[in-house]
């Protein structure tokens, strides 16, 4: 084996030193700076993205708080509008009911007056017809002429006797 031959040690050491030196310089000057710059850019991008995400999160939280406040205000406003509408409706319903009540009372009173007047008229007509029937009956039965005045007086006397 030529690698273990001592006369080739010096040349092998020389080439070993040159190769490792070249690799060391290549890695130290070219590859490692590129890798470190990529890592630094990556880290700065990640940090920048984290910073932006935090800012967006705080903005989102502020917007969420504003939305919740506006929703709360809208709910309160809606509740007050509902209460106000309910009160207005109750007031209108009460006034309408009182109007209807008074109109119905007036119509009932009018109807009662009309019924009473019709009753009086009907009774007067019945009395008139009774007087006429009585007069005609007396005329036919007794051939005696009796006027309405006499019949009315007789009936009034009978009614007074019945009441006492």
pLDDT in tens, 128-146: 888 888 878 877 888 777 7
Q: How far apart are CA 122 and CA 120, in angstroms?
A: 5
% pLDDT > 90, the chain: 66
**Digit-coded pLDDT (tens) for 35-58:** 999 999 999 999 999 999 999 999
Mean pLDDT of the chain, nearest integer: 90
Q: How far apart are CA 93 and CA 99, in angstroms?
A: 10
Q: How far apart are CA 98 and CA 92, in angstroms?
A: 10
- Average pLDDT over every residue of 57-81: 96
Q: How far apart are CA 131 and CA 154, in angstroms?
A: 11
C-alpha dist (Å) from residue 129 to 133, 146, 148, 154: 6, 15, 11, 16
More confident residue, 146 or 100: 100
pLDDT score recorded for residue 101: 94
pLDDT score recorded for residue 1: 61
Q: Note the helical H segments in the chain.
A: 9-26, 32-142, 148-163
């Amino acid at each position: 084996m030529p690698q273990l031959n001592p006369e080739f040690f010096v040349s092998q050491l020389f080439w070993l030193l040159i190769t490792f030196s070249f690799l060391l310089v290549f890695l130290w000057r070219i590859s490692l700076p590129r890798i470190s710059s990529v890592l630094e850019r990556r880290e700065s991008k990640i940090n920048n993205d984290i910073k932006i995400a935090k800012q967006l999160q705080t903005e989102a939280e502020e917007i969420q708080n504003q939305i919740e406040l506006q929703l709360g205000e809208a709910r309160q406003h809606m509740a007050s509008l509902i209460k106000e509408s309910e009160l207005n409706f109750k007031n209108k319903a009460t006034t309408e009911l009182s109007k209807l009540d008074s109109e119905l009372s007036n119509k009932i009173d009018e109807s009662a007056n009309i019924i009473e007047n019709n009753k009086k008229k009907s009774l007067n007509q019945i009395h008139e017809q009774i007087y006429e029937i009585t007069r005609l009956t007396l005329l036919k039965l007794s051939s005696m002429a009796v006027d309405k005045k006499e019949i009315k007086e007789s009936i009034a006397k009978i009614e007074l006797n019945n009441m006492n």
